[in-house]
A and B are shown apart, each in its own frame.
Chain A
């Protein structure tokens, strides 16, 4: 039985070689995958380099200040104006809080590019503000030719190009009757042919995705967890491939001419890849519109202006509550502003802005919930959503970076606000005990839980399509 299956597959393989169309399609598919590999590696390497540069700059800056402090304490150096390592205003500088790229991030380079990997956090930093971007918006809008796009949008086209006439061509060549009277079920013949197409498309995909994931990991990162995640990603891609193959098989089960099959399947592709995502996007925009960013800007500014006009009262209230933090020495003009004026306002601003930020987060969450709910409408949407979530590239997951930056800011303030407010000179103990910024790592369970509904939707679509084909009799 198995030998029979392999013989059938072998004949399909020989046919593809003889026709050359299969070879051309496979070559084009491999070129596209090579582009995706390049794109994924380029993006993740740039991101790792950006993260490393930010960390190095931060570490070396603090190390230089510490070394200078040792020299001053030993009497071997003199402090310079505005460059005194003992000044508590050194604590105002920002620290880079990093979102470590997830193991599969190279496979979703496009979505990952839309959000920053680093957020600054310090005494007065507005951690909720997205850092400016100087990327070309035209590139951001189009998105790169990454794995996510190549598989979601282009793989179905290759499946359909290979399989649209898998039986229709027998009808058109009038060899269908001959085929039907062979001691092999027609379903088995179709399955063997699709199995060859599956290998032709799936094997280069698996190899290139594995290569991308292996080469894109951070130098010290263990490879084993990444390979486990890759297996899940490949399972999703396989389910997606099977869905489209089942659709092509279903079209071939009807006695339609090959051209009609091509039209029907192209229509299905258009619907799943372009029309339903556009429709869902339109629905989501209508029912859960994005937060009004301009209103957010004005609201933030109104709060800050109000706090500015009450700056003295806010500072006095703070000193009344925290008498130990009242400066022991007279402040110069610079320190008066940054210590006596700006920092108490930053604390008050964080409290006053909390409801606004909560509203923003709620609007984002509502949008994400609608997307999750409607992703079932198209296997393409389900695949994209699931893989983006596995890659940790959605705004909700990016929100973790803001939360982490905020938590770090609290620790930083707890460590430095006493010396800063009281203008006590920093000591080596302050330097050595300062909190170190730790990276945010989205665990696999976090990412897979977020991706679960879309994953289930995709698997259900593939299983449903396969069952539907099995139940359809060949005409």
Chain B
């Protein structure tokens, strides 16, 4: 019986030309975007490799110079991407691509695509994941809005119930039919996408990436199930197909089109990020004046001079048997790092508050939560950018410290000028970075996933209640 109802539903769907057209349109757009992303990913993979090699070569061959100038010459790094980024490019259009590590201060990502393209870079849907999540949900709405309401409009619901069909079973059959139709559409898309990800970087598709892909697939299955159950539930609760369509389209627009913008506005209004000038100025103030009762830079320098003179039993800095400028820079960097950490933690606190506001708008629909989950599993959300930036920061500190130690060893007293040959640069170990594991990404994206699951539970509850109260009127 269940299968007969499902087959009937499938037959009706096959005959509906509008659905075929929408599905083809969505598939064409998705395919176009993913193919373009595939091409971009492959090109950028080569560009990143060339960039890393050349940046290192430039460091190694920067010529003889002062170690502190070498620390300011610094390193350029670029965040690696997983093959899944060709499906979901996440924050990439708005986040910078390059980190410059230099002495004294933590760096922020620079050279983002919006610098060149402006708002045009983010005008439409920016990646395949957005197309799939938005247009896939729309396709479900168009497929399922009339599943029960239209039977009621046509008067066939009364006929069916009069034949003794169990309303719950009939309901389940309808859902099964719709789910089979959508799975038949989604399965080749998912397989094609997987093949593209493997082909984009065969060596890069590791077991960890496979786990991420699996989690992404499961997340999308939850998301689309929530839409399907929700659409059928609305169809069951609505008095007419027209009403069901209006309600579902309103939900789709509110959750998919309005919510991301609302999220951004709420986040920037309720948890504002300081301007760069304010951020730097607060750091400068802490540096000069100290914080939490700790002395500022001038007092620290005086204390360092005194302790150094006492330690080496000399009266002038010029008589200290090692390079005092190295010691001074060591202390300056340690102090800057503490201040940098303090302000970075505050900034991250603001970002976290903003992320909560973003997720709060998931109350309008599951799209915002699904997007956050998808970006996370693809390795293109802020926690992944932060993870990379943190690793880069630790590397920066180690390199700068080694440059300061060179000054201590190579200089004596208060001398400053010294030139170090280029062999020293090549002894600096290269930056090695490993992307966090799938389990880490899942932990970071647990809240968005829970919100998608909550939508599914809500939709299933509404659907179950709708099926129980099914009446022909």
Contacts and interface: CB of A to CB of B under 8 A. Distances in A.
Interface in A383-423: 384, 388, 393-395, 398
Contact of A133 (B58, B257, B276, B358): B276
A42 interface: yes
A308 B65 CA distance: 9
A281 B94 contact: no
A295 B47 contact: yes
* Interface of chain A: mostly helix, strand, loop or mixed: helix
Contacts of B54: 298
A258 B98 contact: no
A319 to B, nearest CB: 20
A321 interface: no
B347 interface: yes
A270 B138 contact: yes
B111 A297 contact: yes
A371 to B, nearest CB: 5
B91 A137 contact: yes
Nearest to A164: B246
Nearest to A118: B277
Given A110-B119, A278-B131, A285-B36, A308 B62 contact: yes
A53 interface: yes
B434 interface: no
Interface size class for chain B? 35 or more
Interface stretch (A142-150, A201-209, A239-247): A142-150
B91 A298 contact: no
A449 B242 CA distance: 45
B98 A297 contact: yes
A465 B86 CA distance: 39
B95 interface: yes
Given A279-B29, A292-B47, A145 B261 contact: yes
A293 B111 contact: yes
A395 to B, nearest CB: 4
Contact of B123 (A258, A262, A333, A381): A381
Contacts of A67: none
Given A137-B95, A141-B94, A305 B63 contact: yes
B231 to A, nearest CB: 15
A182 interface: no
Interface size class for chain A? 35 or more
A429 to B, nearest CB: 31
A138 interface: yes
A2 interface: no
Contacts of A291: 116
Contacts of A293: 97-98, 111, 113, 115-116
Interface in A278-292: 278-282, 284-286, 290-292
Contacts of B112: 133, 137, 140
B2 interface: no
Interface string A288-323: 001111111110011001001100000000000000
A266 interface: yes
B117 interface: yes
Contacts of A110: 119
A282 B118 contact: no
Interface string B116-142: 111111111110000100100010001
Given A137-B94, A294-B97, A305 B62 contact: yes
Interface string B346-358: 0100110011001
A114 B111 contact: no
A149 B354 contact: no
A137 B389 CA distance: 14
B326 to A, nearest CB: 15
A266 B245 CA distance: 11
Contact of B119 (A133, A143, A274, A364): A143
B58 A301 contact: yes
A384 B242 contact: no
A270 B22 CA distance: 11
Given A50-B275, A301-B76, A395-B116, A286 B124 contact: no
B298 to A, nearest CB: 12
B59 to A, nearest CB: 9
Contacts of B232: none
A287 to B, nearest CB: 11
A105 interface: no
Given A130-B115, A263-B245, A293-B97, A136 B382 contact: yes
A294 B51 contact: yes
Contacts of A115: 115, 118
A284 B97 contact: no
A371 B274 CA distance: 33
Interface in A319-346: 333, 337
B58 A138 contact: no
A273 B65 CA distance: 56
Interface stretch (B7-15, B186-194, B264-272): B264-272
Contacts of A280: 123-124
Contacts of B416: 333
Contacts of A273: 257
Contacts of B126: 141, 281
Contacts of A281: 120-121, 123-124, 126
A149 B351 CA distance: 24
Given A142-B260, A270-B138, A394 B118 contact: yes
Nearest to A130: B115
A306 to B, nearest CB: 9
A453 interface: no
Given A132-B276, A157-B253, A143 B116 contact: no
A139 B353 CA distance: 12
A213 B69 CA distance: 49
Given A50-B277, A145-B262, A111 B119 contact: yes
A138 B277 contact: no
Interface string A363-375: 1100100010000
B249 interface: yes
A46 interface: yes
Nearest to A293: B111
Contacts of A285: 36, 40
A463 interface: no
A42 B108 contact: no
A280 B125 CA distance: 11
Interface string A141-168: 1111100010001100100000000000
A124 interface: no
B159 interface: no
B382 A138 contact: yes
Contact of B25 (A50, A142, A275): A275
A134 interface: yes
Nearest to B153: A259
Interface string A23-46: 000000000000100110010001
A434 to B, nearest CB: 22
A273 B69 CA distance: 51
Given A38-B265, A279-B29, A294-B98, 14 more contacts: A42-B268, A46-B275, A111-B118, A134-B347, A138-B381, A141-B91, A142-B264, A144-B261, A278-B29, A294-B51, A294-B111, A333-B417, A384-B119, A394-B118
Closest 3 CB pairs of A and B: A278-B124, A277-B124, A111-B119
23 contacts: A50-B275, A50-B277, A53-B278, A132-B110, A133-B110, A134-B108, A134-B274, A137-B94, A138-B354, A140-B122, A143-B261, A144-B265, A259-B241, A263-B245, A274-B125, A277-B124, A278-B131, A280-B123, A281-B123, A284-B120, A292-B47, A294-B47, A298-B55
Interface of A: 35, 38-39, 42, 46, 50, 53-54, 57, 110-111, 114-115, 129-145, 149, 153-154, 157, 258-259, 262-263, 266, 270, 273-282, 284-286, 290-298, 301-302, 305, 308-309, 333, 337, 360, 363-364, 367, 371, 381, 384, 388, 393-395, 398
